[in-house]
Structure formats: C-alpha cells, structure tokens
Structure 1
Amino acid sequence: MPVPVPRQRDIPGTESGPGATSSLTLLVIEDDPAGGLTVPEILDADGHRIRLRSARNLTEAARLLTPDVNCVLLDLALPHGPGAGSGAGAGSGDAAADPFGALRQVLRIAPRHAVLVLTSEDDAQRAAEAVRVGAQDFLFRDELDGRLLSRAIRYAVERKRADIAQYKLAESKLRAQENARLERGLLPHPLLEGSDLRFAARYRPGRSRALLGGDFYDTVRTPDGTVHAMIGDVCGHGPDEAALGVELRIAWRALTLAGLCGDDLLATLQEVLEVERPCEEIFATLCTVDIAPDGRRAGLCLAGHPAPLISRPGRPARLLPYENSGPALGLLPRARWPRRQVELGGTWSLMLYTDGLIEGRIGQGKERLGQDGMVEMINRHLADGLSGEGLLEASVTEARRLNGGELTDDVAVVLLSRAEG
C-alpha cells in the first residue's frame, strides 16, 4: 500500500551551527507497484531534511539497508516468505500463518536500526502487538503527515539508542558478575584440617574492578602433619599476570601434596613459569615456609621475595633472616634456592606478604614505607592488642592511608599463628 506522505515545498534546512539538526534517512518498505513515495527527499514542518529510500520487498530492503539509514518504516501488510513482493497476493498464506513475519525478518536484518510499523487505524491491537514483537512505535496510515513522520522517526531512533545502551549495560553487568564468580573460584581455600594453626589472609589487587592480581598465596597440610605456606608475586599487574599467578599457585599445591619441598619444588615451579609465561621478561618472586608437625620450627626458602615477619609474646616483631636467598623464578637457568631452618618457639605469629604492602609511599614525598616501616607499623598494632584478621586489616588500611590513597600494586598478606596450650 502507498504511504501518503504529502509533497512539501522546499524549505532550506540549517546545515551548520550549534543548533543544527543532522539529516535522517528513512527506508520505507511497501509493495505498491506505483510507488507511494515519488519524492527523493522531503522536509518536515521545521525544515529538517529526511532522505527517503523505498524498497518493494525484503530482499531489496536488505540491499538498501546501509549504515547511514537511521530508521525503517514497514507496512505491516507487506507479504513475506518465498516470492514475497512479486504481487499483491504473494505470500498471503505466510502472512496468515504469522502476521508479523515481515516485521520479524526486518528486525533480524536490521538489529541496530529503529523500526516503525505502518497500519490502518482499525488495526490498533495488531499495531500494539508489533511493538511487543520489537518495533519502536506504530503509525496509523490515515493520520500520517510530514511533521508526525519526522517526530516519530526521531523518537524511534532515540528509543532504539536507549534500548541498545541498556542492553550493553546489562550485558556488561552480567559479564562482570561472571568474571567475579570465576575469580572468586580461583582464590585459594586453605587446607589446614587437623592443624592447630590459625590462618588469616588479606588480598587487594592493584587493577581496578578486579578480584585477582599477579600476587598469589596458598596453605596446605600434608598427611605427615607439616603445614606448607607460600606467597608469591608475578611481575606486572594485568590479566595475563593474574592468570600466571593462579597457574603457579595450583602447581605449587599439586607439587607440595605430591611430596616436593624446598629447592626441588622451586626448580619445578621455575619450569612451569618458563613454559607458561607470555614472554621471557616475566618473572615471579616466591616465599615458601614448611612448618614442622610440632609447630616449633620451620624451613624457609626465598626466591627474590621479602623475608617473612615473626612476632612472639613479649618481644617485638622482626624479620626472619634472609641471607643466602635465591633469585626470583624465571631469571636464571639452573638456579638454586637454599632452605634455611628457623626456630619458631611455642607461641608465635608468622606474616608472609608481597611487596605491594611495603612499596607504598609515605605522604607526598618519594619515601616508601619499606620493610623497616612495616615492622614498626606491625609492632604498633600488636601493642594495641590486634591479632589475626584485625591485624591484617589495620595494616593494609594504614598502608593505604600513608600512601594517600589506593596502593597501585597488588597486596597479599598471610598470617599463620600458633598458641602453645
């Protein structure tokens, strides 16, 4: 059926300037052989140009649907299906089977375009149903004029933009939720059943809106009663480094449960790193501790990582000895990592941490907190009676405060404690 858009006199449109309105292009799909729209360009009452294109069937419409088309105006009476558009009665059986078949096809070939449908005034229920199917709006053939068409086009275009934006927002939220669930699943779950040690940890990635960074940690108890703990740091802060950190943590747990320890364990982890890292410049620091079943002594291995901090009742906290430590994983082939025996005593707390905790700045200057500043900070919190989760939370919070805002590096802190009964 023809679309009765009246011819209008030429009214010069505003081409430029702050109040200029961009031209719109409308693709009209209707099958009247006479062609209801014979004017290649019309103007609405405000002088805004609307370029017109006409298609007699959906095949022709698909060819004319170029990126500069803003809106599609579809005659709901358009036949569809095989042979549609070849005559007034073509495809009538398909239209009876699905009165919105043509609209569904248009929505399929033009998913990002605004779509208006045109119908008769006595078919209002069908017009409303067309909107539920996916059209932005409907127009009645007997009421249509240039001004109404222009307003309907602009409304439909803006509504389509809003729909697309809302869809992208919902898709982004869903993807963020899926990523968060995935990252939470990759965080470690300590295996300490049967041990009298208390465990606490804090993790804060440096990447914005991330749950995982390049830092990683884990703790497991092997069948002989030994508690193994480790903390590490892959250089860099991106998703590749986070993925590599997860791989190293899982490999460490598997190797530890298989019976490896000390230098043999670190040498094997270096092989894993060399195979999995995206480039040869990537390395990782690591600290491993294996605590004897009686809880009074431990073996310590450092691979380019800061030494743990130990605190005992009645004594100030201090760093464990870190002489003769080995290089970071991935730096030197055939490197060795000496294992040092450490006496812990009966009651103690052992804190493992990554350098994100100590590399934050102090105030506006270039001075960093450093290991000495961290030891002083921990001793203040211990003097205030803090322990466990409270001690770690207070320490990370103060490091952020001293830095004047969020720490740019990943931060991981693990605290193992034992109280002799």
Structure 2
Amino acid sequence: MEPVEPDASAPLRVLLVEDDDADAVLVTEHFTDADLAVDLQRAESLADAEAALHDPEAVDCVLLDLALPDAHGFEGLRRLLYTDGPAVLVLTGLRDEQLGADAVGVGAQDYLVKDLVDGPSLARAVRYAVERRRSDRVRRALRDARLRADENARLERGLLPTPLIEDPEMRVLARYEPGTEQTLLGGDFYDVVEGSDGTLHAVIGDVCGHGPDEAALGVSLRIAWRTLVLSGIDPDRVLPTMHELLVHERNQPTLFTTLATATVEPGRERMTLRLAGHPPPALVGEGQDTSMLSTERLGLPLGVGEGVSWTPLEVELPKKWALLLYTDGLIEGRQVSGDVLWTDGLLDLLREVTAGPAPWRDDPGTMLDAVMERVRSLSTARPDDVAAVLLVSDK
C-alpha cells in the first residue's frame, strides 16, 4: 500500500479505548490543556474499538487502556496492531509501569502512566507516536518496493533472455511492456536460439495470470524449451514435454499457457509453425504484402486436456522475410469503441505502419516501436503484459 501524505493542518484522529468514565474525562481535559487539535473518539471495550477500526486508515493514534472488560494482558494490544493501521499508545496505572514497558516490546509505540501524564506530555507522546508510525510505513513501503523491483529484475532476466544466434543475416528485435493495471511482472516469455545445424528456433508464450508464481513458471518453461531444442530432441516432442512439465510444476490445476513456436530451416526458405492456443504470427512485408498466418491448426494451450498433440503448419517463406510473434496483450487492449484490436486490427495496423515512403527494413526497430505506440494510443486500458519479437531475414 502506498503511504498517503498527511494533511498537516488537520486535527489528529485519536481513538481512546477506555472503560473508566473518569479517566476518559481526564484525557479529554489533557488534550484541551495542551491546545492540541484532535478528533477524539471513545470506545469502552475492545469490541467497540475493533468496530471503530473497521477502516484502520481512519484513525491516526489509539490510546489503549490495558485493563478492559473484554481483554486480558496484551490480547487487546495484539488485536489492534494492524500492519498499516494507526500508532498505538498504551495507558497504564502507576503500579503497571513495567507492564507498559513490556507492551512496547509487543509492538506499542510508547506507554503512558495515567497518574503521571499531563496535557503537554500526552500531546507530545501522541505527536511522536503518529510521526514514528508514518515513518515506519514509508520505510516499509520503500523496502517492499525495492524487494519487488529486485524480484521483477530477476524474473525479467529469466523471461526475456538474450537471443542465441550466430547467423549474420538474421536480426532479432524484442520489446516487452508491463500491463497498465498491474505492477508485478506477468508470465509472458520469449526466446530465440540457433541450433548447431543452423536451424532457427523461436518461441513466445504467456502463462495465464500475473504475479511471481506465474512469472517463475514462465522462466521454467522458457529454460525447458531452450534446453529441449538445443539438445536436438524430435520437434514433435517439444510441446508434449513442456505440457507435462507445466502440469507437474503449476501450483493450481487450472493454470495454463498459450504458446507459439517457429522452426526455420537453415536455408531460411521454410518454417514450421506450432500454435498452442496462441494468436498467429504475422509475416511482415510492405503495406498490403503483410499477412497474418493461418490458425487452421490451432491446438490447445499447454496444461489443457490430456494426451494432446499439436499439428505443425508448414509455411513457405518469401525472400527477405520478417516474422512478428507476440502475446495477446498486443491485441486485447480495450478501445474507445469498446472493441478489442484483435488479429484483424493488428493486421490493418501493421499494413499502415509498413506502408511508409521509407523502407521499414532499414530500421525495423523503429517500425516495431511504432506498432507498440499505435497499440498504446488505440487502447483505453491494457491490463495484460505485451511481449513482441520480430525476426528479420536478410536472405
């Protein structure tokens, strides 16, 4: 939760948890004597206090009497120590000073001895407790942000690797953008490697859901794919093996992954495409020469069904071809009209972007950036991540 900047001019919102009427009146008089602006509420029991704190953000500080009719010892204190809630100051009797000190060890910001406190000391203790609590929350938020950033960086290095190719006539350009409605890295992943015989292998996939579990599964699948194709396994066994891996590694039985693989022969004239519930790649040409590959042999996502197989689609490649693989975040953004871009809209957009007067092949990175920007401009909301890989053959 992001810390909220307090309004310095607003009165402090104080909840007094005290069952003794005389002590409650005395606390009110102390605040008046100290000339401290407070919005004071009172709860006469722990149950009333918990009801008043149904929204912990609505109170800045709790003054808690340890001797309540429905709480014993530190029970009440522990129940009111919300992670992102108000500061808690303990009120004790003169003979309970050690008890108050022990309460600080449990988590109270400070303790006050009822018979020794006056207006100035009460006001000072409340101000200090509130500021310490706010400082603690800011430090915790910064620490959590650093931890999330470090975790995302580790996951991103696994999900978005450096392509492993040696062919000087092949160019690989990749882009990744997180979704606009989530902060954690999702499960989109891609990879491109070249086998020892010159065969080019590419994969792009999307683990359903967002968060570290999905991202970690995406890393595992990407590494498994790279290992399988570089080991020279029969291409028809790659997806079934990854399906089995996903089924055994996922932490939820309904988790699945869409995926597209492309295997390009060493001569770069033929390609074998396999789709596991994934949108089809596009062959990018000049303007109207751009086309979306067929989905007639679209198979089930990994993790869905048993004994599934994925029928390959053989594609003849033109001279100097380019192939765009992408995850569905690129085509599922909601537009102003309420429609989604989908594959037809992406095809129109690609034809528009590649129809410029200057050949886009001279600077394919700029073309890919223009596609990503046009998708952003057309989408009012794009909750999913986007990964896109452009393979450009100069043969």
Q: TM-score, normalised by structure 2?
A: 0.71
Q: Distance in 1 between matches of 2:221 and 2:158?
A: 12
Cα offsets for 1:108-130 (capped at 9, x unmatched):
7244423689xxxxxxxxxxxxx
Pair 1:109-2:95 in alignment: no
Contact 2:90 2:110 in 1 (8 A): yes
Structure 1 counterpart SS, 2:348: helix
Q: Distance in 2 between matches of 1:145 and 1:330?
A: 65
* Residue aligning to 2:392: 417
Q: Which has the higher helix share?
A: 2
Structure 2 counterpart SS, 1:299: strand
Query: Which AA in structure 1 matches 2:373?
Result: T
Q: Distance in 1 between matches of 2:171 and 2:190?
A: 16
1:46 to 29, 38, 41: 29
Instruction: Report the CA distance between 1:40 and its aligned residue.
Output: 7.5
Residues 183, 108 of structure 1: CA spacing in aligned structure 2 closer, same or farther, 3 A cutoff?
farther
Contact 2:287 2:350 in 1 (8 A): no
2:342 to 370, 385, 393: 370
Cα offsets for 1:165-204 (capped at 9, x unmatched):
2332232232223223222322332333412211111222
Pair 1:179-2:151 in alignment: yes
Contact 1:41 1:52 in 2 (8 A): no
Instruction: Report the CA distance between 1:158 and its aligned residue.
Output: 1.9
Cα offsets for 1:6-56 (capped at 9, x unmatched):
xxxxxxxxxxxx99954378xxxxxxxxxxxxx9788369354988889xx
Instruction: Report the CA distance between 1:378 and its aligned residue.
Output: 0.5
Query: Which AA in structure 2 matches 1:373?
Result: G
Mapping for residues 272-421 of structure 1, pairs under 5 Å:
272-312=245-285, 316-365=289-338, 367-384=339-356, 385=358, 386=360, 387-404=363-380, 406-420=381-395
* Residue aligning to 1:149: 121
Residues 317, 21 of structure 1: CA spacing in aligned structure 2 closer, same or farther, 3 A cutoff?
closer
Cα offsets for 1:233-269 (capped at 9, x unmatched):
2233444333322221111111111112532111111
Pair 1:245-2:211 in alignment: no
Residues 163, 390 of structure 1: CA spacing in aligned structure 2 closer, same or farther, 3 A cutoff?
same
* Residue aligning to 1:131: none
Q: Distance in 2 between matches of 1:282 and 1:191?
A: 27
Structure 1 counterpart SS, 2:198: coil
Give unpaired runs (5+ residues) of structure 2. Answer: 1-10, 32-41, 43-62, 68-72, 81-87
Q: Distance in 2 between matches of 1:317 and 1:243?
A: 35
Pair 1:70-2:89 in alignment: yes
Query: Which AA in structure 2 matches 1:394?
Result: A
Q: Distance in 2 between matches of 1:352 and 1:51?
A: 60
Q: Distance in 1 between matches of 2:307 and 2:278?
A: 18
Pair 1:255-2:228 in alignment: yes
Instruction: Report the CA distance between 1:65 and its aligned residue.
Output: 9.4
Residues 45, 264 of structure 1: CA spacing in aligned structure 2 closer, same or farther, 3 A cutoff?
closer
Structure 2 counterpart SS, 1:260: coil
* Residue aligning to 1:33: none
Cα offsets for 1:261-299 (capped at 9, x unmatched):
532111111111211223333322221111122222222
Mapping for residues 204-243 of structure 1, pairs under 5 Å:
204-206=177-179, 208-210=181-183, 212-243=185-216
Moved more, 245-254 or 173-182: 173-182
Query: Which AA in structure 2 matches 1:70?
Result: L
Structure 2 counterpart SS, 1:235: strand
Residues 112, 308 of structure 1: CA spacing in aligned structure 2 closer, same or farther, 3 A cutoff?
same
* Residue aligning to 1:36: none
Q: Distance in 1 between matches of 2:304 and 2:66?
A: 66
Question: Percent identity, aligned pairs only?
Answer: 35
Q: Distance in 1 between matches of 2:12 and 2:220?
A: 57
Structure 1 counterpart SS, 2:289: coil
* Residue aligning to 1:170: 142
Contact 1:71 1:157 in 2 (8 A): no
Contact 1:112 1:160 in 2 (8 A): no
Query: Which AA in structure 2 matches 1:158?
Result: V
Which structure's relative contact order is higher, taking Cα pairs within 8 Å and 6+ residues apart?
2
Contact 1:40 1:53 in 2 (8 A): no
Q: Distance in 1 between matches of 2:273 and 2:346?
A: 20
Aligned length: 330
Q: TM-score, normalised by structure 1?
A: 0.67
Contact 2:204 2:260 in 1 (8 A): yes
Q: Once superposed, what is the RMSD of the aligned Cα atoms?
A: 3.7
Q: Distance in 2 between matches of 1:336 and 1:357?
A: 26
Spell out structure 1 runs of 4+ moving beyond 4 A: 18-21, 39-42, 47-54, 63-66, 105-108
Instruction: Report the CA distance between 1:224 and its aligned residue.
Output: 1.5
Contact 2:324 2:389 in 1 (8 A): yes
Highest Rg: 1 or 2? 1
Q: Distance in 1 between matches of 2:142 and 2:154?
A: 18
Residues 65, 368 of structure 1: CA spacing in aligned structure 2 closer, same or farther, 3 A cutoff?
closer
Contact 2:297 2:312 in 1 (8 A): no
